[in-house]
A and B are shown apart, each in its own frame.
Chain A
Amino acid sequence: MAARDLHGIGAPWGDRSPGDPENRAFEVIGKPHRKVDGLAKATGRAQYTDDLVLPGMLHAKTLRSPHAHARIVAIDTTRAQALPGVHAVITGRDLPIQYGVIPWTQDENALAVDKVRFVGDAVAAVAAVDEDTANAALKLIRVEYEPLHAFLDPEESLARSEPRIHDDSKTGNVSKHVRLDFGDVETALASADVVLEGDYVFHGTTHAAIEPHCALAQWSAEGLLTVWSSTQITHYVQRALAKVLELPIHKIRVIQPALGGAFGGKSDPFSLEFCVAKLAMLTGRPVKMLYTREEVFYCHRGRHPMQLHYRTGASKDGKIAAVDAKILIDGGAYSSFGLVTTYYAGQLLTGPYHFPNYRFDSTRVFTNKPPCGPKRGHGSVQPRFAFEVQLDELAERIALDPIELRRRNFQGDFTRTVNGQRITSNGFLACLDEVERASGWRARRGKLGFGRGLGVAGSMSISGTNYPVYPNKMPQAGIQLAAERSGRVTVFTGGNDIGQGSNSVVAYVVAEELGMDVADVRVVAADTDLVPVDLGAYSSRVTFMVGNATIDAARKLRASIVLAIAKEWQVDAARVRMANGRVFDTESTERSITTAEAFQIAEAHCDTLGSTGSYNTPTLGGDYRGGTIGASPAYSFTAHVVEASVDVETGRITCHAVWIAHDCGRALNPMLVAGQMEGSAYMGIAEALLEEHGVNRFGLHAGPSLLDYRIPTSVDTPELAALIVESLDPEGPYGAKEAGEGPLHPSLPALSNAIFDAVGVRLRELPFTPAKVLRALAEKDARSAPVARGRA
């Protein structure tokens, strides 16, 4: 690791001791500051992609496949092209180069070439004077299809390799298979006091960000392409555009305007970005494409459905001896991030508990359904659900309190997992303590009467990954700072603010380091022409990596300013301090100037003021193939307690409250951290109770609307209590780790475990629909002595 990546966990001017939990030495960090873009968003001024209009702009629409799996025999676009107002029509022939976010599995085309692989696969695109004309043109395109057998069941894809969904696949309809073995699982299971074995089912869910995907492209006479897109990873979109359009990457500028939610659903390069670019190049006009909500459901890239089989062996006092997992993953039609998903499904389970022996066997298959990808807690939410329910079953079997069971298996901090991942700070025990206390667990669990209960679950999650999507030795995050004689500092960051507040975080860091008001820090973000490369908003990397890069840059800038002032005052630089918008001499405090005056002096002494900073992960991961996938510079830890009740007549579950304890390292802004924790738990409970992303028997999306894909309203959301745990991480910025994805994981198993406490049934299959609950209750009744219930 480069020295520049280690900044310590303390305040910039404080004693830098870790014993400062209340952040007293900090001026900005740790306080509930407003977001830098809060009022712009509150007043309607913030511009999202579809809010942008360029002179002469055309509108584009996509023709989509009505077949789940078919060969394209012929496409005739002549009538569409002849329609007045139509400026261009493109098909797969115009964009034949394949792309995909993972370099090794590039199997997507912007528009289908020869084959369509799910209902909604993009086939052609039209640019016209307005949306109505573009839609009318779509209806004039004739496509002749030869339907093929459609795979809707992952088991079938595993069993049958023909017809191939991807013709050039060497592994039939298997997208990726990973098997990794650590220790001696069979021997440990054979000698374990207790072995639990069970099947668990995780359904598909999608992100449902409220902003639909949108892209706008402009092609200039100088040969420069500009694409504004609702993406969470500008850099990968830029790379993919360069490849597919065969343009030098420096001729492409990608800008992410304000973004209306992503949750992983805007991580891939999408068809519309290539289509607007190509259409702009063909027509010489700016071209915009806004997906309908229905199209957003076809884009999907949501959570993979998984069928999970777990065996857990333990001693009779509850110590885990071995875990054995076999997982079948339904990938949908394309690879997307699937290679990583297949690894994550196994690699990220090895904390916060100590596993002496562990094995997983994950297989991702292709099916003729909308492609799955990364959704908040990518690849690890599904195994976590299965395993944490199985842990609860273990607690029941050995009659141990489920929180105590989890405590007994705590792996500790500054340790290494069975699969070779380095664990640094680990506040999981404090998380358990917090949820136990806040929920009144000891006094209430098992004592709320039949029908109401409490459940617990824990989890671990990554703060970024040391594995960049394309291998390279350059920094994963870069920052530039420009300070100017007015007293203003501008931060240039490639970090993508997707609502989580990353632009605010860089402003807080700069303000903290330079002792300035946050309002005097401007942030220019996610515009590839203006900012250094950053790998974007995924895998919860932004606070950790961009935060560290910002500290790096800010400390360099500070050093040059301090040096200049020291020179001006002819004092030792150690006496110069920047705080509260002023620069002063610590030994002669009447000597004090404003930040702006200091910048002027520094500018005179040095040069135009600026600095750069960067971050790269240290070398991490296990020494085996795939050992770096899931290796993170720091892991966050979470525990939830859920309180829920069951109406035994209707089967309906009411989730009353979720206590969310999350170890995020230092909370750089506790209000924003709490917002991530509350939003995560909300989303997890929603996935457990309401949401299901699937297709019907024809392979059509079962309900591609926000009416039929039911995300909770204000009256459906439980009370959410965010309990922030701060185990300061030695490598995080001021000790910070992630908060955006980890706090989702335990929601689903904790709810299942609460149902068990409430009514004694184990829900192992998501979502927990009332019909499933009633069936489980009926099975339980059938097993035990019949109990009269007040059925009508």
Chain B
Amino acid sequence: MRVLNLLINGDRVEVAAPEHWTLLEVLRYELGLTGSKQGCDKGDCGACTVLLDGKPVLACLTLAALCEGRAVTTIEGLLPAHVKAGGTGPDPVQAAFDECGALQCGFCQPGMMLSARALLDRNACPTRAEIKDALAGNLCRCTGYTQIFEAVELAIARRIGIEPAPRAWEAQRMPADEAERRAREFAEARERQKEPR
């Protein structure tokens, strides 16, 4: 056993855990933070993604003993952090995933949302291609990813304060020219945000 001093979702936590436990095991089975999921055992699926010093890592391959002195953010930490920063309710990424249908079984999504959160923290207006690249280490078996991309883009649109591009299924239910116009306007607004002020 080893006593670990960890910084989890902003709190200093002292926890005793077997020395060979991964961060994922300590989070789930010692601290009860079961939002981080285990899907593949060994770094192949991304369900256990947490943020370590703000960057997405796989908790199933991270030794808990090596996390001392580093800031760990789990899915449970997003809403309280958002509220603490003056927001209301869930983190905009969480809200957008909920509103876009991106949560089917929901099992891979804590990891997915943390990857998305980290992306938006370093790049406020990523393109669809950048979103895909940033999420390419998080396997989802339910959605075909489309509603996930749409959720990230909804969070972006909210942040810029514009209307998001219509979702793929909505676009098919509206006149083609209207769908194209809205997609174009969203892309242009996103590009403008990227340009240096």
Contacts and interface: CB of A to CB of B under 8 A. Distances in A.
Given A678-B168, A681-B144, A715 B94 contact: no
Given A261-B141, A714-B138, A720-B144, A38 B98 contact: yes
Contact of B95 (A42, A211, A677, A707): A42
B144 A47 contact: no
Given A261-B141, A674-B101, A51 B28 contact: yes
Contacts of B98: 34-35, 38-39, 41-42
Contacts of B167: 671, 674
A293 interface: yes
A46 B106 contact: yes
Interface string B132-148: 11011111111111111
B108 interface: yes
B41 A292 contact: yes
A293 B132 contact: no
Give chain B's interface residue range (CB within 8 Å of chain A).
35 or more
Given A681-B144, A705-B40, A713-B139, A44 B107 contact: no
A37 interface: yes
Nearest to B168: A721
Interface in B145-168: 145-149, 167-168
B97 A42 contact: yes
Given A211-B107, A678-B146, A45 B35 contact: yes
Contacts of B79: 43
Interface string A485-503: 0000000000000111100
A37 B107 CA distance: 12
Contacts, number: 202
A604 B68 CA distance: 61
Contacts of A722: 168-169, 172
A589 B98 CA distance: 36
Interface stretch (B42-50, B51-59, B183-191): B42-50
A339 B20 CA distance: 46
B108 A210 contact: yes
> Which of A42, A258, A499, A672: most chain B Cβ within 10 A?
A42
Nearest to A22: B173
A705 B42 contact: yes
B137 A501 contact: no
A501 to B, nearest CB: 7
Nearest to B20: A132
Interface residues of A, number: 66
A211 B39 contact: yes
Contacts of A38: 97-99, 103
A290 B28 CA distance: 13
A44 B35 contact: yes
B74 interface: yes
B39 A44 contact: no
Given A211-B39, A261-B105, A682-B144, A44 B76 contact: yes
A35 B105 contact: no
B122 to A, nearest CB: 17
Contacts of B148: 714
A536 interface: no
A298 to B, nearest CB: 14
A39 to B, nearest CB: 5
Given A42-B103, A43-B76, A261-B105, A678 B147 contact: yes
Contacts of A671: 100-101, 147, 167, 169
Contacts of A45: 35, 76
B144 A35 contact: no
Contacts of A670: 169, 173
Contacts of A32: 101
Given A44-B75, A46-B106, A674-B168, 10 more contacts: A38-B97, A42-B103, A43-B76, A43-B90, A44-B76, A53-B32, A212-B38, A260-B107, A674-B147, A724-B169
Interface of B: 28-29, 32-42, 44-45, 47, 74-76, 78-79, 90, 94-95, 97-101, 103-110, 113, 131-133, 135-149, 167-169, 171-173
- The 5 closest A-B CB pairs, nearest first, are A44-B35, A260-B107, A499-B105, A41-B106, A682-B144
